[in-house]
Amino acid sequence: MMRRRAADFRRPVRRRWSRRWIWALLGFFAMGFILFFVHHYHHVGLAPPLVLERSVSARREAHANSKFFDKAVRSASFSQRLAEQITLAKAYVVISKERNNLHLAWELSSKIRVSQLLLSKAAMRGEDIKLAEVEPIIKSLSSLLFKAEGLHYDIAITIVTMKSHMQALEQRISSATAQSMVFGQLVAEHVPKSLHCLSLKLMSSWLKDPYMKEHINRRKLYSAPLVDNSLHHFCIFSDNVLAASVVINSTVSNSNSPKDLVFHIVTDSINYGAMLVWFNSNDFRGSTIEVRNMQDLSWLNASYSLTVGSEVVKDDLSRLQNPKDTWLLLNHLRFYIADIYPELEKVIYLEDDVVVKKDLVPLFSLDLHGSVNGAVETCLESFNRYYKYLNFSNPIVSSNIDPQSCGWAFGMNVFDLVAWRKANVTARYHFWIEMNSNHTIWRSSTLPAGLLAFYGLTEPLDRRWHVLGLGHDVNINDLLLDSAAVVHFNGNLKPWLEIGISRYKPMWERYLNKAHPYLRECAVN
């Protein structure tokens, strides 16, 4: 039988907690944890986990929805960003209509109109768009773009759809461009009613006034200045009385020695009388003006063949009844200047759609370094080089001409006629005209013929002597226009036509003699 230990040495008895106390203690800890958790999230500005889980999808959507706006406000130019969003919105308008989502297409179109109105107002103010006015528009447009993107209008669908639309638009643009060129050419060739009226009044004076003919015939007898090489000679080939008048008036008005200038005009038989009356009844600051009828060039009738359109004209220039053929022939006559004026040594050739703004006399003392033609080059990097004008698959062209040679412009050219005759430029012109009889080297215009005839014989001039583009380009730099010696209205938008570019018209109208009774009666402006 075992004995118990003494009372002092026995182990303490373990007391068991009741379940009530255990649950109370757990509840206390749980409440403390909850209070701590809520207090923590309240201070850091976050939602409790339950709220956070419920808002995850909404926050993701809001973040994606605002990514367009975030990119927009980071952009340096709000105008540029808004324009880019307009372009994307237009693409989604097309796709929405194809998917029959007309409501979205209408919403996008409405926002596009508002955006374009904002851009238009900013352009009229001449200032960039401010953040305050662009922010709500970009936000709303971004929301619509995100909505369109969420409708599975993904980038692949957009690219395929827009590619097909671009191809259709390119075809329409090509067709419209061809029509525009045809209509523009028709308008350019059309003689305005006011100019037709002026020509009729001048012709009436020529036919009815015998004293006028007698006066003109007396002046013809005094021909010494016409062959005096100490004077400065200009030649103009034109059938437009008023245009030729502006060329001469602008030249003499900006010359320091107008009495030393001699102008040689060649025109057709229809406008010959009108030209004589106009230039003999108006004063051009003491300059000498000669008017010749191209049908009086008997050597040209008897000895030369000229390509006019698709027809070779021989022996009889009176066969030319079509005004367009007459204009083409006048253009071709510039290749015969050395023959038309055999006594002259140097001339400046001016087309009838130029305006002279500075004194051109210094060009006569310019050294052409043995070249025949002084002209402004028109190439810029790869543009307007010879291969742009000529067919280099032709072996004669490819073996004789460098395709990278720089092109140049007719309109204001300095011709050394001594060097011309030495190089026999006119014969070179005839050679290339014959080579192109089947139109395989170039198709139309006389510029390619000039590029070939004067190949290796052209001295480049400073571009400020001859600024081109006023008949088609509305964005010519003002500083370049101010520094120009000659401005050229090449293109269909001639300054005497209603379709002329209004920005440049004052330069031409400045040299009209608006006080002349015929101009007032015919409402020429």
Count Cβ atoms below 10 Å from residue 514 Cβ, excluding itself.
10
Task: Look at residues 274, 282, 281, 280 and name the one whose alpha carbon lies nearest to residue 197.
Answer: 274
Digit-by-digit pLDDT tens for the chain (525 residues) are: 444 444 444 444 444 445 555 555 555 555 555 544 444 444 444 444 433 344 444 445 545 555 544 544 444 467 777 787 787 788 778 777 777 888 888 888 888 888 888 887 777 777 777 778 888 888 888 888 778 777 655 555 666 666 666 666 676 676 666 666 655 555 555 677 888 899 889 988 888 877 777 777 766 667 789 999 999 999 999 999 999 999 999 999 999 999 999 999 999 989 999 999 999 889 899 999 999 998 888 777 544 555 444 444 444 444 555 556 677 888 889 999 999 999 999 999 999 999 999 999 999 999 999 999 999 999 875 568 899 999 999 999 999 999 999 999 999 999 999 999 999 999 999 999 999 988 899 987 788 999 999 999 999 999 999 999 999 999 999 999 999 999 999 988 999 998 899 999 999 999 998 888 998 888 876
Do 314 and 451 contact (CB within 8 A), yes or no?
Answer: no
Count Cβ atoms below 10 Å from residue 315 Cβ, excluding itself.
12
Burial of 96 (0-12, 13-18, 19+ CB in 10 A): buried
3-class DSSP assignment, residue 345: coil
C-alpha 343: how far from its chain's center?
Answer: 41
Order of strands, sheet of 412-416, starting from the edge strand that comes earlier in the sequence? 288-293, 261-267, 232-237, 346-350, 412-416, 373-376, 458-461
CA dihedral 244, 250, 253, 254 (to 10 degrees): -140
Structure confidence at residue 50 (pLDDT):
38
Cα separation, 437 vs 435, in Å, equals 6
Cα separation, 137 vs 525, in Å, equals 46
Structure confidence at residue 221 (pLDDT):
61
Do 263 and 287 contact (CB within 8 A), yes or no?
Answer: yes
Count Cβ atoms below 10 Å from residue 406 Cβ, excluding itself.
16
State the DSSP code for 168: H
Do 470 and 477 contact (CB within 8 A), yes or no?
Answer: no
Where are any strands of DSSP class E within 405-457?
Answer: 412-416
Q: How many angstroms separate the Cα of 196 from the Cα of each of 128, 429, 452?
A: 48, 34, 36
Structure confidence at residue 419 (pLDDT):
98
**Helices 193-208 and 269-281, interaxial angle, to 10°?**
80
As given in the structure block, the two tokens for residue 18 are 């009741």
Structure confidence at residue 25 (pLDDT):
54
What phi and psi values does residue 328 have, to the nearest 5 degrees?
-65, -40
Do 413 and 458 contact (CB within 8 A), yes or no?
Answer: no
DSSP labels for 437-494? TTS-S--S-SHHHHHHHTTT-EEEE-GGG-B--TTT-S---HHHHHH-SEEE--SS--
Cα separation, 382 vs 404, in Å, equals 8
Cα separation, 128 vs 337, in Å, equals 55
What phi and psi values does residue 346 have, to the nearest 5 degrees?
-150, 135
Cα separation, 318 vs 490, in Å, equals 28
